[in-house]
Amino acid sequence: MQDNYRWKNRFLPGILLLVFLSSCSINQPVGELSPTITIPPTMAVAPSPTLAPPAPTTVFPPSTPVVVPVAQRFIWFAPLPPMPQSEGRPFTGSDDFIELFSPDAAWGIASSRLNVFKLYGEWVAYHATDEDLGRVVADLGQRGIALGVEAGPLLPSDKCGEGIEGFAGLGEGLLIARRIQEAGGRIDFIALDEPYFFAHIYEGPNACNWTAEQVALAVNEFARGMLSVFPTAVIGDIEPLPLGLPAEEYMQWMDTYRQVTGNDLEFLHLDLDYQDPTWSVKAFQLEEFCRSRGIPFGIIYNGEDTSDIDWINSAWERAGIYEQREGGHPDHVVFQSWNDHPDFVLPENEPTSFTHLVNRYFRSRSLIQAEILAPEGTQGLIINGKLVQETGQPIPNAPILGSINLAYAPSSMPPLLVAEVQGTTQALGEFSMSIASLPGLGTEVLIHYPGSESNSPQGDSGYWPDYHRLSAGAAGHNIAYQRPAVASATLEGSDPAYAVDGNPGTSWSAGDFPQNFVEISLEKASSIAVLRLWADQSPAGKTIYWIWGKDSQGVFHLLQEVGIVSDNWDVIDVWPETAWNDLVAMRIETVQGPSWVAWREIEIITP
């Protein structure tokens, strides 16, 4: 069978974890809503300090990000070749894919930077002509680039696996190997197409639900078969990391594979869910785990599939977030598309081409150095810093952006933005920005340089983006996390505890329309600064919530009514005019709205 590659499998957390949130639309009237969510206004900002600089009371020293030489990375390239349209793939890949493999193709600099060119197994097995494969093999050999393939190692049966990604089997693998061999080539790397996820975790139609041990045995059998043809091939794994799936799942998988087979996987590449606000944290956890096991770790950088330039820019931004903000330093860097975009891989001097992105990766790294000053008698901050190149030379006239977010833990939600600032570096790279007033809560300051591009035919002149985190004040606490929860009604399989489990991939659902509520018991009488609600709602529409608090005497009080047009995945931040005090429980009641009542996560924040 043909491989079902991951363009068919952009999984919703509901598929992943059986979140049984059903919804339907009704034509019930919804009255005019008066928004009562009070969010601190965006603070006035200035590119230079507007506060007088009295002696600071607190200085927060700068952190030191990890900067790893790019020369130590293995660079993979995997554009989507033209293939027939199919269900879930209403496009045909990069139009000029085969032109890459001409001696005078306009990617001489980008190709010199690659270590591995990865081919899709489906294309090799079923769509590439003999002439195409001969051309690819000869050109990669001439350029000194190793040849890799991506293949589904698992064999479907009449009981499960049919039509599921990762299920193609050794027969197709050997067909891929034979076609490469007949073209005069050698497979140097084999990337397994997400076998553990789709055989063990996936719960959709035709799911197999194999044990981890069964998956390891099947993968090992496939590996032995492929090594019988190409005994020096390096065989590793690709796995997705969708919202709601913890990094520990793959740590256990790698340990199981070692226990069952006596060998380690020879690399792990992550196919990340970039909509997950915790993607970079989970990826870094797996990077550290792999490094502790001596397993090369890689990330697939891809982009938003709206246009060529959006795809390139968002893939580039994600690389910056992981390597500059999170401090990651993957052993393998994989530039891969399974989307409609980019439409073109050539030429490398065109900013919308895929090879241009490869060259961007080799720009100079930038580094932000900064500190926070907290002047006495104010609720504001001054941020002073400097932007330099890797060599220490200043970067002048560069934009600097600052996001000030509420600091608290634990949290699985996107950051709660309370203010933004901006500035510009001076001749020696210095910058200074000020915030006149902030909530009386701990904050995290994220300073960001978006990077720049200098005039360069290949796109490798300019600077990487950089990020720098600083903290001000004591972080708050999410006191709802894993606390007891009850509800007015519950759909089977969607326990109220899912609303406070720290996993947005699981939800509590009432299984019915308003009015319904979920109630969270707190450990002790508490003062509440902010309430955060992560909606699991479909369809979108006008919704009214009542926020109740139970005091230490057992009396419920209606604290606030919230009226808002909300949608699935919206985060609703509710700020009281003054703190809600002496509360031992909170109840969130949906009294009007277009869908069943459900929440992904609820976070209750105290100073």
pLDDT digits (tens, 9 = 90+) for 201-259: 999 999 999 999 999 999 999 999 999 999 999 999 999 999 989 999 999 999 999 99
For residue 206, what pLDDT is reported? 96
Q: What is the pLDDT of residue 440?
A: 80
Quick one: pLDDT at residue 69? 59
Q: Is the pLDDT of residue 25 over 90?
A: no
Q: What is the DSSP letter of 34?
A: -
Q: How confident is the model at residue 89 (pLDDT cuts 50, 70, 90)?
A: confident
44: pLDDT strictly greater than 80: no
Q: Rounded mean pLDDT of 47-73? A: 41
Tell me the average pLDDT across 157-161.
Answer: 94
Give the pair of three-digit tokens for residue 113: 């930077």
Looking up residue 564, the CATH number of its domain turns out to be 2.60.120.260
Residue 28 lies in a domain: no
Residue 65: what pLDDT? 37
Q: What integer pLDDT is reported at residue 258 of this predicted model?
A: 97
Please check whether residues 486 and 459 belong to one and the same domain: no
537 confidence band (pLDDT: 50, 70, 90): very high
With b for 16 or more beta-carbon neighbours within 10 A and e for fewer, the 315-330 pattern comes to bbbbbbbbbbbbbbbb
Asked if residue 82 has a cis previous peptide bond (ω within 30° of 0), the answer is no
The pLDDT confidence band at residue 79, using thresholds 50, 70 and 90, is very high
Residue of 440 and 516 predicted with greater confidence:
516
Q: Which of 416, 441, 473 is the last residue of a domain?
A: 473
Average pLDDT over residues 373-397: 89
pLDDT score of 117 more than 90: yes
Opening angle at CA 411, ends 408 and 416, nearest 5: 65
395: CATH: 2.60.40.10
Residues 6+ apart with CB under 8 A from 164: 4, 156, 198, 202, 204, 206, 207, 208
Number of domains in the chain: 3
pLDDT of 33: 28
Considering the domain architecture, whether residues 143 and 292 belong to the same structural domain is answered as: yes
Both tokens of residue 92?
């045909």
Residue 388 lies in a domain: yes
Through-space distance between the first and last CA atoms of the chain, rounded to whole angstroms: 57
Map residue 256 onto helix, strand or coil: helix
- Checking if the pLDDT of 29 tops 80, the result is no
- What distance in Å separates the CA atoms of residue 575 and residue 553, rounded to the nearest whole number? 24
Domain end, chosen from 446, 473, 500, is at 473
Q: Using one digit for the tens of pLDDT, what is the confidence trace for 429-466?
A: 999 999 888 888 899 999 999 998 876 667 678 899 99
- pLDDT of 303 > 90? The answer is yes
456 and 486 share a domain?
Answer: no
Q: Which residues of 380-402 are buried (b: 16+ CB within 10 A; e: fewer)?
A: bbbbbbbbbeeeeeebeebbbeb
- Note whether residue 436 is domain-resident: yes
Identify the domain boundary among 445, 473, 501.
Answer: 473
With respect to residue 375, please indicate whether it lies within any of the assigned structural domains. Answer: yes
Residues 6+ apart with CB under 8 A from 27: none
Residue 446 is encoded by which pair of tokens? 């994220």
Q: State which residues form the domain around 287.
A: 121-303+310-337
Residue 360, sorted as left (phi over 0), alpha (psi -120 to 50) or beta, turns out to be alpha
Please, what is the Cα angle at 306 between 305 and 307, to 5 degrees? 100
Instruction: Give the side-chain half-sphere CA count within 13 A for 62.
Output: 16
Global pTM value: 0.83
C-beta of residue 514 within 8 angstroms of C-beta of residue 595: no
How many Å apart are CA 416 and CA 433, to the nearest integer? 20
**In this structure, are residues 21 and 596 in contact, taking their beta carbons and an 8 Å threshold?**
yes
- Distance (Å, rounded) from C-alpha 318 to C-alpha 283? 12
Helix then strand then coil, % of the chain, to nearest 5: 25, 30, 45
Mean pLDDT value across the chain:
88
Q: Does one domain contain both 424 and 503?
A: no
- Give the integer Cα–Cα distance in Å for 258 and 293: 10
Using the Cα atoms of residue 533, residue 536, residue 537 and residue 540 in order, give the sign of their dihedral. positive
Structure tokens at 375: 């002047």
Tell me, yes or no, whether 466 and 488 share the same domain.
no
* Cα–Cα distance, 107 to 66 (Å, whole number): 30
Q: Count Cα atoms within 13 angstroms, Cβ side, for 319.
A: 30
Q: What is the H or E stretch that residue 392 is in?
A: none
What is the per-residue pLDDT for 473? 87
For residue 178, the SS3 value is helix
User: Between 558 and 19, whose confidence is greater?
Assistant: 558
What is the spatial distance between Cα 469 and Cα 404, in angstroms, rounded to a whole number? 10
Q: pLDDT digits over 336-361, tens only?
A: 999 999 999 999 999 999 999 999 99
Q: What pLDDT is attached to residue 407?
A: 95
Among 130-144, 281-295, 456-470, 589-603, the range scoring the smallest mean pLDDT is: 456-470
Please give the Cα distance from 490 to 548 (Å, whole number). Answer: 19
Q: Which residue has the higher pLDDT, 133 or 15?
A: 133
